Structure formats: C-alpha cells, structure tokens
Amino acid sequence: MKAAVWYAHKDVRVEEREVPVAQAGQVKIKVEYAGICGSDLHAYHHGVGIQEGENHPLSGQKAPLTLGHEFAGTVSELVSNVSGISVGDRVVVEPLYHCGKCEYCIQGRYNQCTQFGFVGLNGDGGFAEYVVVEAYMVHPIPDNVSFEEGALVEPTAVAFHAVRHSKLKVGNKVAVYGAGPIGLLTILSAKAAGASEIYAVDVFEERLDLAAKLGAIPVNSAKVSATEVILQQSGGIDVAYEAAGVQPTMDSAIAVVKKGGEVVVIAAIPNPLQVNFFDLLVKEANLTATLAYRHIFPEVISLIAEGSLDVKQVITKKIKLDDIVQEGLELLMSDKSHAKILVEIGG
C-alpha cells in the first residue's frame, strides 16, 4: 500500500509499505480522507512530537512512522474481542492511545493518561491506504456525514472540548485568538454553543476573511490594537480562547476579559509565556487550558450530522497522497489562505 512516512525533519516520503495486519482487539480501516494538522507540520518542519528513539509503550512503534491522525474511512477487517463494529461500517478514529489502567483513565480523563499518545505521531497513522487502530478508538458515522466531514471530526473535537470545558453561556461574548483551523473550528463551536458576539484575532487577512464567513468579527492585530478594538466594541469579553500561543495574543486575551471572565488556552505553546497574574487577580478571572478531548466524539458527529457544525466551510483544498509534501506540508507554511487541507486517499 501507499503511505506518507516520516523519517526525519523535512523528510517525509510517499512510499510502498506492507498492508498492516490487525491483531486481537484491533480494527483495520480503509482510509478515504485524512486532514493535515498543525502537529503534522511541526513533525515535518521541526521534527517535534514524533516518536523517536524507543517504542511507544502502547503502540509498540517508533519512527519511521506514517503520519496522520485526522481521518475517516471504512472498516475492512475485524479480529476477535471487537463488538459494536462491523466490516463495511463508515467510521472516524479518535486517535488517542490510553492505557485504561492509570488513575486518570480510571477517572475517565483518558486524554491525560500517563502513557498518552497519538496515532500518526506515536504509532502509524492515517496518511495511508490502510491503518490498524485499537477498537476503542473507532466511532461510526451516519450516511449523511461525508468522509470529508469525518476527517474534520478530530480537530473539531479539540475546539468543541475547549468550548464545552469553558464557562461559556448562551449570549456571552467571545474572542478567539488565532484563526487557523482550530481557531476557525472554535468559532463554529462557540457559535453553536450560543455566543452572541465572536471576535477573531489574527495577523493574516486571508484567515480573517474565513473567520468573517463563519460569522466572526475580524480584527487584524498587525494593523490595530486588538485589545483596544475589542474593548471599545464589546465592552469586555466573557471568554477568550487562546489558539495562537504567542505573547501578544496572551496579553490581549487577559486584557479583554471581563471581571469574572475566563481565558482558555488551546494552543500547544512551545515556549514559556509571561502571564499578567495581577490583571487576573483584580478581575477574579480564570486562566485554564485544555488537552485534546475526551468523551466528545459522538456529540461532535451528531452536531455535524444535524448541521449545527458546518465544518465543510473550513476545507480550503483537497489533494492526492502523492502530493502531500509540496501541496500540503510545504504549502500550509507559505500560503495562509488555506485552513484545512484534506488528503484524498480512497477512491
């Protein structure tokens, strides 16, 4: 089969690999569509986040690894100890490895498992014609959810988990810092949750145009003071979602929230940032963070199926697997008009 395999920084090869074989408790999936995530970009451009050196304790794998953790397809093979899933089912994958035995898993917080990992980063992923995953990762999708939409369930779950984890109430005002794919999906999720005003902050006009199409009020922080504009227009924000992860956006997020408001960090921030705790103190505001998702895929799938989350709007390009490096991993760094690029693998 054909797969996009990570070997090293700036070294992803589309090559022939053996079709994986499912073991007990596993499911083999024929992949139809897979999305390119920021984590894939970090792995390709910076060599960050990929399993190197030693095998992951749950996947038993290490690099070279097939990338891709946002994908949908059709069940092609089942082995023993699998129930509730049938060959031919249309499915999406919740790509989190978790042990099921540590204190966090026992408490239901499996996204905080002590052996936490991702399919596509810590084990072979979905940029391949076939992938084998643990049965607990597999979620059926109804016929009215396309495979393209299915490939967006995973990143939507990241955004929706952040919104559901937050204190957002119907009628609240929201600011989303960063209008990349996660920021855009956070806008959609906040809108579905009843936010009355949503401000989108970014430095790229192309991304802000997409945010405006989703119903957000665009603020270009390269041209104006986002803090001043948002405070002047809104009078203060109830919840600010930090999906950019840089010092100026963190400063502004804290500055625009009301007394008793909240800042929710979604971005994976590689370098330490300073936090104005005095501002948080005098406002009695909260600063919190979310990691991936848990117990949320069924709800996200249902919301997409019923049209409450129109995630198709975030798709800006579809490419073939052979073109994933130049038309995907490279293009996303140079052309900011793109949000979510999908890789067509089936067909």
- Burial category of 63 from C-beta neighbours within 10 Å (exposed 0-12, middle 13-18, buried 19 and up): middle
Q: Look at residue 247 and give its three-state secondary structure.
A: helix
Q: Is 305 a member of any domain? A: no
Same domain, 119 and 32: yes
Residue 299 resides in a domain:
no
Distance CA 169, CA 157 (A): 19
- Predicted TM-score of the model (pTM): 0.96
Helix and strand totals (H; E) in the chain: 12, 18
Q: What is the CATH number of the domain that holds 271?
A: 3.40.50.720
Question: Taking Cα atoms as reference points, which of 234, 328, 289, 271 lies closest to residue 43?
Answer: 328
- pLDDT per residue as tens, the chain (347 positions): 999 999 999 999 999 999 999 999 999 999 999 999 999 999 999 999 999 999 999 999 999 999 999 999 999 998 877 888 999 999 999 999 999 999 999 999 999 999 999 999 999 999 999 999 999 999 999 999 999 999 999 999 999 999 999 999 999 999 999 999 999 999 999 999 999 999 999 999 999 999 999 999 999 999 999 999 999 999 999 999 999 999 999 999 999 999 999 999 999 887 899 999 999 999 999 999 999 999 999 999 999 999 999 999 999 999 999 999 999 999 999 998 899 999 999 76
Asked if 320 and 220 sit in the same domain, the reply is no
Give yes or no: residues 240 and 276 share one domain. yes
Same domain, 122 and 175: no
Do both 135 and 44 map to the same domain? yes
- Alpha carbon 160 to its chain's center: 10
Q: Are residues 318 and 254 in the same domain?
A: no
Domain contains 193: yes
- What is the residue range of 91's domain? 2-140+310-344
Report DSSP letters for 10-65, one per residue.
TEEEEEE-PPP---TTEEEEEEEEEE--HHHHHHHHH--S---SS--TTT---SSE
In a domain, 146, yes or no: no
User: What is the token pair recorded at 74?
Assistant: 């059709």
Distance CA 225, CA 307 (A): 35
In a domain, 295, yes or no: no
Amino acid symbol at 132:
V
Q: What is the CATH number of the domain that holds 73?
A: 3.90.180.10
Residue entry with tokens 């936090």: 275
- Number of domains observed in the structure of the chain: 2
**DSSP code for 116:** -
Domain co-membership, 49 together with 178: no
Contact 179, 208 (CB under 8 A): yes
Task: Write out the two tokens for 152.
Answer: 């967006």
Are 246 and 320 part of one and the same domain?
Answer: no
Residue 298 falls within a domain, yes or no?
no
Residues 12 and 101 in one domain: yes
Query: Residue 91: beta bridge partners?
Result: 73, 140
Asked if residue 15 and residue 135 are part of one domain, the reply reads yes
Looking at the fold, whether 93 and 186 belong to one and the same domain comes out as: no
For the segment 82-100, what is each residue's pLDDT rounded down to a tens digit? 888 999 999 999 999 999 9
Residue 206 domain-assigned? yes
Q: Does residue 149 belong to any structural domain of this protein?
A: no
Q: Are residues 259 and 185 in the same domain?
A: yes
